[in-house]
Amino acid sequence: MPMAQDKLTQLKAMTTVVADTGDIEAIRRFQPTDATTNPSLILQAAQQEGRRARLAELARHSTDISDALDAVAVEIGSEISELVPGYVSTEVSARLSFDTEATLTRARSLIERYERRGIGRERILIKVAATWEGIRAAQQLEREGIHTNLTLLFSFTQAQACADAGVTLISPFVGRILDWYKAREPGANFEGDNDPGVQSVRRIYEHYKGHGYKTVVMGASFRNRGEIEALSGCDRLTISPALLAELADDHDSLPRQLSPAGDAETSPREPYDESEFRWEMNEDAMATEKLAEGIRKFMDDQRKLEALLGELRH
């Protein structure tokens, strides 16, 4: 009797699987459709011994550290693009999370770098933090034919504003939502359907499908395999190599949990204006705290990468 399909193979049949890594070997092993990176993952990839000589070369030929950072991100993104058939996500500096114009300039520059390497903009998702300023930048980029991935998304408010702006994809952070609630209620049962991060993504997914929004929902930041399994059927899920390996080693059945709705409602609604968006975020302590913390954490790793590239330039 043939062995049943592993859960990773079953998941790929209903959800686009994305590798949450800059590790080229992991991408080769798990063969995801897309890949997504962030400053933390780029830092991990940059610290690999085999990359040092090439990083030093990029750093020395860059005009400044910001130029070197983007050169490294596009270098790694270009390698990944040869291994996946779909999107590669590349992040705009978290330092620009509250500056719409600077985000636009940096995003266009990243796209130009990819295009000089022969990689079309249709293959790239520009990752931007889902701040008010980031969402406004994404709206303009989409008008220019540059696809965007709105990251550090923790609330329904952010998700609705992104849908209003017509962004290509959002990355709601499942595990970090769970972290926040576990820190405040350490004795509570947050397993399975009780996981607040899972609940958040399900609400967003059902709302998008029920109202005909085209924005793709990609669950991210998973703490355990159960969260992934609870969101099977979601448009996309971006998963770390460790959890991809767990899924690949499990041959139990994986039932579908999320499915698109039937007929979508098309009732119009007024998009958030800036004051409404900021007020709704202010009312949501978890989303406000995790968004700020996420930007700080990405910047911590970006500063480490800047220091590394600064050393290599000399």
Crossing angle (nearest 10°) for helices 65-81 and 52-60: 130
DSSP state of 31: -
Q: Reduced to 3 DSSP states, what percent helix, strand and coil does the chain have, rounded to the nearest 5? A: 55, 10, 30
Nearest to 66 by CA among 113, 22, 24: 113
Looking at residue 290, its amino acid is K
3-state secondary structure of 126: strand
Looking at residue 53, its amino acid is A
Residue pointed to by tokens 């859960």: 7
The residue from 7, 12, 127, 214 that is catalytic is: 127
In 10 A of CB 147, how many CB atoms?
A: 20
Measured between alpha carbons, how far is residue 162 from residues 17, 76, 138 in Å? 22, 27, 8
Instruction: Supply 53's token pair.
Output: 């000589």
Q: Rounded to whole angstroms, how far apart are CA atoms 194 and 199?
A: 7
Is 127 a known active-site residue? Answer: yes
Beta bridge partners of residue 217, listed in sequence order:
170
DSSP state string for 59-124? HHTSSSHHHHHHHHHHHHHHHHHTT-SS-EEEEPPGGGTT-HHHHHHHHHHHHHHHHHTT--GGGE
> Active-site residues: which are they?
127
